[in-house]
Each structure stands twice: as C-alpha cells, then as structure tokens.
Structure 1
C-alpha cells in the first residue's frame, strides 16, 4: 500500500515545490487535478522524474454529464474523459476517477417501464464499456467512485460500483473506495472493502469530519487490516481538509497511518 496526497493539499507555490515537499514528508505519490492538465504535462513530468514520487491518477476536469438527458452533453463528457485518460497515460498515472453524476437524477421516471435509476444504469453501462475500451488503448483505467447520499442519488455504496464493473466486465475499470463516503453509507467499512476484492483499485482517505486521518473517529486500523486481508497493494490518497501548518500536519498524519499498518 502506497500513500499519496491530492496536489491542492500540498504546500508549495509550484508543482515542483509540491513534489519536493511530498518527497521530504515521505509520501509516495501525488493525485493530479484534471483542470488545465493538458498545459501542465511537461512541468509534471519534469518534476516527477527521478523524484521518487509518482502521479497516481487524475481527479476532475471533465463535465459530469454522462447521465444528462442531452445527447450533446453526454458526448462532450465522453470526449473530455477520453482526453484525460490520454493525459493520464502521458504522466504515467493509473487513470481517471469517474463520478457518474452529482445531485438528483436528470433523466425522467418512466415507471412502470423503467425508473430514473434503471435508465441511468443502462445508459451508464453502455458508455462505460466504450470508455473502458479506450482506457485500455492508453494503458490507463476508469476508476469508478461511489459518493454519499448528500452528494449523489446514484452509486453510493461499494457494492453498487462493483456490480457496474461486473456488468462492463473490463480489466480497464476498477473501483475507488473513499472511507469518508463509506463512513456514511456502509454498515461496515471493513466488510465492504473485503467484498470488493479484486475490483478494488484505488482508495481515498479522510476521517469522519473530512479532515486528515487521525483527526476524527474512523477506525483506520480496521480499514488497513481489511485492505491487507485482500492483499490490496494500490494507492491510498488523501482527499480531505488540512489544517494550518499543512506540511507538519501531513507528516503527522502519515506517521499515524503508518503506525496502524499490519505487519506483513
């Protein structure tokens, strides 16, 4: 298991400074913003070269419109996702985090034939198949992230994301487990992680209050134990609030998390 931080959480006025700070703090990776990524590829590659820090994946930067009723908006979202998958390959990142939709449904309820969510699932699976195939041509992955009831109505539990991956049946798709969202939606975070098994390919870390691990009440020892049980060896990236004195706080949180890792 490797620890990373979203780039916007890291102290530094340039990307190079952020990478240097991550290296000095002991982190292995940096999660990249998708916004403006095309213009930063050279800078990112230069900063990461021989640094010991790797790009983990790309987060955001596209229209969350795969489940919008307008055909043009869906096509625009797919185009942007394909571009970001290509850019992820250029910086040697695993892939792109994919959130199907924020907020309420945009598609109509056509009951008794199909509910809005049934329509969304069929539409999403059709598009995911196409996008996963493209990801494979780039050597990258679609990383499907469930959220929580306050952020979306659709795909809120790990089990639901796994079922979508099983329907698409592509090696170029995987599931992201975000422990902050899981603390809201899952009956048991460790059981949900164990249930994901081979589909689990990325982890977001934040405590119950969405601050750094160790600043809330999530049982991270149990989280790491479950990940160890399923032999998870992928990225674990911080997506959370960082208090003042960001560098010191990031270092303290890393040492806290490392102290909880099972002996292997």
Structure 2
C-alpha cells in the first residue's frame, strides 16, 4: 500500500520544503492542488513543471497527480446548461492532464463541488448528460498522456451532484472510457448507508484512487473512524493505487497532522496485514 498526502495542507511552505518534510515522515507520494501553484495550471510553465518534478524526485517522492481541479477558477462548470462553458471546462481538464503528466503524475481527482452543482431547474438526467459530454471531450488527451480521471462522490452537504459511489459509477458508465474511473473518499463514504468495506468491495473493479480522512475533517487516526476494516478491505480487493491523506481542518498544524496520519496508517496496515 502506497501512502501519499495532499500538499495544500502545507500553507505558505515552498515546494522543496514540502517535499523534503513529506518524504522524511515516510510518505512516498505527494498529491497537488493546482491552485497552490498558480491561479490556473496553464500559468505553470514547462520549465517550472520540470523543476517541481525534479525536486519531488530528489526528495524521494512521486507526484501522484492533481485534485481540487477547478478550485478558485472562474468561468468553468461541469453540469451547466451553457455549452460554451462546458467546452471550456473540457479544454481545461485536458490542460490539467498535460500538467499532471508533466509533473510525473497519473491521476486527476474531480471533486470541485461548487463547479458541479446543478443549476436551478436542471434535472439530474440533463446534468449527467452534460457532465458526460465534458468528460468525453477531454478523454483523448487523458488517454494520450496516460492520465486517469477519477470521479469523486462527495457528501450531500458539499454538493447536489454525485453524492454516492453508485452515482459515480453511473456517470462512469455514461462516459464509457477506460481512463475515467472512480475515486473513493472515506469522509464522503461515511455519509452513505452502506459500510465503507462494503463499498470498497462492491466498486473495486472501477476504483483507481483513495483518499483517507475522517468526518471531523482531520486525518486518519485523528477522529472516531476505525481504519482497520477499511485497510483490510483494500487488501482483500488487492487495491494497488495510492492511499492519500486529504484533510480540511489545518488547525493542529501540518507537521502534526502529517506525522500522526502516517503513524496511524502504518500501524493499522501492519495490524491487518
């Protein structure tokens, strides 16, 4: 099992410092929020991408990929009725795929709740069709760059579009492309009626990335969720992707969160292996 951490947690740390610390803790992967690099990923030059990749590799890290894909952008939306905006969104996802590959990553995680929420009066069926259109348009570039786009179900508190793993799989079926797969997130799955181990087993064939966190918005081991059955299910299904820490409450501090999450995950994995 490969452990990574999402780097937006390290507010105001420069990239090289982030990489060195994350590797020193024991992680082997770093997952990037594009808004920490520039307002738009297209503003990160080819030379800058090469430097970031080399610095991560020098620290002993792989760049896993990108998440929070549309955060802090303007004029982009997944399900909107505006065909021009949908086209621009597909083009930007393609640019994200180029950036991801340039950095050495292979995964794009589509969360971005505000940029996928249904507009007033739009039916769920139309929203699904619009989203599928956007993703299908971006797929040729993702395929060329060997990058997979992972649809992330979120909680109903965060969005009104794709709030269960089953809904994510429904959209995956509409897009019908091997580079469009499912992302699973512990915090989000806690809002479902079925247990997380059940959801892991049920959707194992289409799951390509996994985020760990807790309902209190902190990392694994810092809340009430028992990760032993979760890691056991990942082992039983022979999941071979990244397990990446993503937190939303930074108050305890990046260093403590990173260390405690890694310690707990390693101890839990050893206990169930």
TM-score with structure 2 length normalisation?
Answer: 0.87
Q: 1:10 deviation in Å?
A: 3.5
The separation in 2 between residues aligned to 1:216 and 1:13, in whole angstroms, is 26
> CA separation of 1:159/1:165 partners in 2, compared to 1, >3 Å: closer, same or farther?
same
Query: Deviation per CA, 1:31-79, whole angstroms, max 9, x where unpaired?
Result: 1121224244133112123332111111234355021121221122112
What residue number does 1:159 align with? Answer: 166
What residue number does 2:63 align with? Answer: 55
- The reply to whether residue 213 of structure 1 matches residue 226 of structure 2 is no
Q: 1:245 deviation in Å?
A: 4.4
| Counterpart pick for 2:142 among 128, 135, 138 | 135
Cα pair 1:243 1:249 within 8 Å, conserved: no
Unaligned runs of 5+ in 2: none
Instruction: Give the number of aligned pairs.
Output: 258
What residue number does 2:33 align with? Answer: 33
Q: 1:22 deviation in Å?
A: 0.8
- The reply to whether residue 70 of structure 1 matches residue 82 of structure 2 is yes
Unaligned runs of 5+ in 1: 110-115
| Counterpart pick for 2:118 among 95, 105, 110 | 105
Query: Deviation per CA, 1:87-141, whole angstroms, max 9, x where unpaired?
Result: 10101101321237537521634xxxxxx10111122222222222320011111
- The reply to whether residue 21 of structure 1 matches residue 21 of structure 2 is yes
What residue number does 1:223 align with? Answer: 230
**RMSD across aligned positions (CA):** 2.0
The separation in 2 between residues aligned to 1:263 and 1:83, in whole angstroms, is 40
> CA separation of 1:125/1:173 partners in 2, compared to 1, >3 Å: closer, same or farther?
same
